[in-house]
Amino acid sequence: MDEFRLIEQFFRRDSRSSEVVVGIGDDGAVVKADTDKNLVLVTDTLVEGVHFPEGTTPHDLGFKLLAVNLSDIAAMGATPRWFLLNLVLPDANESWLEGFSTGLFSLATEFGVELIGGDTARGPLCVSATVGGQVQSGTALRRNGAQAGDQVWVSGTLGDAAIGLDLVHGVLGASDNDRGYLVGRLNRPKPRVELGLALGAIATAGIDISDGLLADLGHILKESGTLGASVDTSCLPLSPQAIGACGESLARQKALTGGDDYEICFTANPAQRLPIEQLKDKCNINLTCIGSVRSHAGIALTGTDNHDLTGIWAGYRHEWS
Ligand code: ADP
Ligand code: MG
């Protein structure tokens, strides 16, 4: 199969949106620009063995690729609209492509994002997407607005995906039910788009947790001007499945440092507590206050283990020797 048949068969769909003037099939895509809104652009790449374990099903991979990009859109408080898809594939296996495109489009349909183009090449497995979204001018959720005295909040539960990865690698064991849930959290993260949109008017700063809570909260604090935070580790939201698989103490460690949960961490003035509580019902999501922002640098952990983790854990980063 050549690249053109591959695109026709698996990725070209009828356009659903009148905003897309030219979609797949030309040298570039053309979309209508909304003059009173700003464009938000995000891109993310998944490399086998680095971002997903070998043996990840094509369905999960297609789903996760779009999910991690939509999570960035969510963390900007934007509405996702279109995306470009870059595929580097070792071969054109039809059942692999069927699974990948099914996973990808299941999420694209759910969030109303349209595939408008991309690129396809032969090589070692690597997939990448670029999503365009829209935000009302001046309402994007940034990393740099946190202030001393703000409360620190997180959505959902933390540490599940990192425990899921340990299960896939055979480092931990769990019951079939817990395993299904935790590996599902690793492979099919839920982008918190509705939450991100609502937070635009409530939060002072926000980020999606892809590299671990301490690392990503650290990005907010640094971008907001060398601030610090205290985090009450007894408040960290842990799923019963996470505790079941590895016990509370290790689950808490995973919640602090494990990546891939794609929950949102945000800061807000304490006066916003009520509107935030109301968001739980509106977005049908767990929101937990885990600490507060302070004026001196470093993240102090209180609650269960009293130690200061300043500089101990920088989160996942790619390095070249
Ligand atoms: P060009 O030669 O101009 O780079 P291509 O031959 O790579 O164009 O692509 C032809 C058309 O197919 C373009 O509209 C491109 O955006 C689209 N396309 C290529 N790969 C993909 C893909 N993986 N998913 C969606 N659209 C794609
Ligand atoms: Mg090309």
Model pLDDT for residues 232-279, shown as the tens digit of each residue: 999 999 999 999 999 999 999 999 999 999 999 999 999 999 999 999
Q: Which residue has the tokens 């997939």?
A: 127
Which pLDDT belongs to residue 34?
85
More confident residue, 298 or 16: 298
101 C-alpha to ligand 1 centroid (Å): 15
Q: Is the pLDDT of residue 158 over 50?
A: yes
- How much is the average pLDDT of 147-173? 97
Contact residues of ligand 1, CB 6 A cut-off: 7, 11, 24-27, 85, 87, 115, 117-120
Q: Which of 119, 122, 128, 131 to mutate to test the pocket of ligand 1 (most atoms within 8 A of CB)?
A: 119
Nearest ligand, measured from the Cα of 7: 1
Q: Which of 20, 88, 120 to mutate to test the pocket of ligand 1 (most atoms within 8 A of CB)?
A: 120
10 Å CB burial of residue 188 (0-12, 13-18, 19+) is middle
Q: 126: Cβ–Cβ under 8 A, 6 or more apart, which residues?
A: 45, 46, 47, 48, 88
Which pLDDT belongs to residue 311?
44
Which pLDDT belongs to residue 317?
64
Which pLDDT belongs to residue 315?
54
Mean pLDDT across the chain: 94
Which pLDDT belongs to residue 141?
97
- How much is the average pLDDT of 104-118? 98
- Reference 78, options 140, 131, 124, 10; nearest CA is 140
Per-residue tokens: 239: 């799923």
What pLDDT, in 10s, does the model give residues 183-226?
999 999 999 999 999 999 999 999 999 999 999 999 999 999 99
120 C-alpha to ligand 2 centroid (Å): 7
| Among 42-51, 140-149, 310-319, the least confident range | 310-319
What letter does residue 303 receive in the DSSP assignment?
A: S
What pLDDT, in 10s, does the model give residues 77-106?
999 999 999 999 999 999 999 999 999 999
More confident residue, 4 or 321: 4
Q: 148: Cβ–Cβ under 8 A, 6 or more apart, which residues?
A: 227, 293, 294, 295
What pLDDT, in 10s, does the model give residues 37-83?
999 999 999 999 899 989 999 999 999 999 999 999 999 999 999 99
pLDDT category, 305, cuts 50, 70, 90?
Answer: low
Q: What is the pTM of this model?
A: 0.94
Tell me if residue 131 falls in helix, strand or coil: strand
Which pLDDT belongs to residue 48?
92
